[in-house]
A and B are shown apart, each in its own frame.
Chain A
Amino acid sequence: MLTDLKKAVLEGDEEIAQELAQKALSQGIAPMAIVNQGIIPGIQEAGELWKRNEYFHTDIILCAEAFRLAMEIIEPKLSEGERGTSGKIIIGTVAGDMHNLGKIMVNATLRGGGFEVIDLGEDVAQDMFIQKVKELSPNILGLGCYMTTTMLEMKDIINRLNKEGLRNKIKVMIGGVPTSQEYADEIGADAWGKDAFDSVEKAKKLMGVS
Chain B
Amino acid sequence: MAQTGEVKKDLGSLISRGGMETLTIGAQCHDHVMYLTKSPAKKFYSDFSFNFEMGEIVGRYYNMDFPAGGFDIYDLEVEALGGKLIYGENSMPTIDFRYPLIKTPEDLKKLKMKKVDFYKDGRYPTLLKGGGIAQAGMTMVSFCSPFSLAVGLMGFPALIKAMRKQPNFAHEVFKFIVDDVLTPSIKAQNDATGALMGIGADAWACVPNLSPDEMKEWVVPYNQRVEMNAKKFGVMAMNVSGDYCEERIEKFDPKILHASFDVEVASMGGTPAIFLGMGRWQDYPLEAVRDYTEKFRKEGKTVSVTAGINARLLRDGPVDKIVDTIKRYIDTFARDHDLTIFLMNVPYDTPSDHIHAAVAATHTYGKLPIADNLDDIKLVIPKRESFDEWLKTEEGKKEPPKEPERKGLAGLLWQQMSAINKSKKFQEQYKDAKMSFLYNLTDQKYSALIIIENGTLDVKEIKSDKETLKSLNVDGLLACKAELFFDFSAGKLSKGAALIKMLTGKLKVKGMKKMQELGEIMKLLNE
Contacts and interface: CB of A to CB of B under 8 A. Distances in A.
A98 B97 CA distance: 6
B312 A178 contact: yes
Contacts of A166: none
B161 interface: yes
Nearest to B84: A98
A101 B156 contact: yes
A190 interface: no
Contacts of A186: 316
A51 B91 contact: no
Which of A51, A123, A147, A180: most chain B CB closer than 10 A? A147
Interface stretch (A25-33, A55-63, A111-119): A55-63
Interface stretch (B208-216, B283-291, B376-384, B452-460): B208-216
B91 A98 contact: no
Nearest to A64: B157
B253 A53 contact: yes
Given A65-B157, A148-B345, A180-B316, A56 B311 contact: no
B329 to A, nearest CB: 21
B157 A101 contact: yes
A195 interface: yes
Interface band, chain B = 35 or more
A109 to B, nearest CB: 15
Contact of A149 (B91, B157, B256): B91
A172 B473 CA distance: 73
Contacts of A183: 312, 315-316
Contacts of B208: 56-57
Nearest to B256: A53
A103 to B, nearest CB: 11
Interface string A100-136: 1100100000000000000001110000000000000
Which of A149, A150, A194: most chain B CB closer than 10 A? A149
Contacts of B53: none
B94 A194 contact: no
A4 interface: no
Contacts of B202: none
A95 B346 CA distance: 21
A56 B211 contact: yes
A177 B94 CA distance: 15
Contacts of B278: 177
Contact of A58 (B90, B98, B210, B311): B210
B153 to A, nearest CB: 14
B160 A62 contact: yes
A83 interface: no
A173 to B, nearest CB: 16
B173 to A, nearest CB: 16
A99 B94 contact: yes
B334 interface: no
Nearest to B95: A98
A61 B156 contact: yes
B411 interface: no
Interface in B210-269: 210-211, 214, 247-248, 251, 253, 256
A182 interface: yes
Contacts of B419: none
Nearest to A147: B91
A96 interface: yes
A51 B251 contact: yes
Contacts of A177: 278
Interface of A: 12, 51, 53, 56-58, 61-62, 65, 95-101, 104, 121-123, 147-152, 177-180, 182-183, 186, 194-195, 198
6 contacts: A56-B207, A56-B214, A57-B210, A122-B97, A148-B311, A152-B90
Interface of B: 31, 41, 86, 88-92, 94-98, 155-157, 160-161, 163-164, 207-211, 214, 247-248, 251, 253, 256, 278, 311-312, 315-316, 345-349
The 8 closest A-B pairs by CB, nearest first: A149-B91, A148-B347, A96-B88, A182-B316, A180-B312, A56-B211, A148-B348, A57-B209
